[in-house]
Structure 1
Amino acid sequence: MYIGSEQMFNIGDLIIYSGHGICRVDDICEKTVSGITRTYYVLHPMENNH
């Protein structure tokens, strides 16, 4: 996610993701679907509570 022209998170950041707990940002990639390019974060859960 970008706010203006700045990334919200960086690779290696730890975030809290609802339903999954603490996750590390492993990668940031762009995907184009139906002609619209969006930025996606690849997350790695740090704990498995489920």
Structure 2
Amino acid sequence: ILTEVLSRSHSSYTYELFSTVKTAVKFRVAFFDFLANIFRVVSEFSRWRVN
């Protein structure tokens, strides 16, 4: 269905959608990096408190 819509739509719409998806993916990657950093800090802190 998605490819049908893409092939039927204009190139400008396709480019807009593509850039939106790219931005969303970039944001998601940054968000997961952020979560990983927080998790690492929390685990280090808990390990330091236990010792």
* TM-score between the two structures when normalised by the length of structure 2: 0.21
Q: Choose 1 or 2 for highest CA Rg.
A: 2
Larger strand proportion, structure 1 or 2?
A: 1
TM-score (norm 1): 0.21
Greater relative CO, 1 or 2 (CA 8 Å, sep 6+) = 1
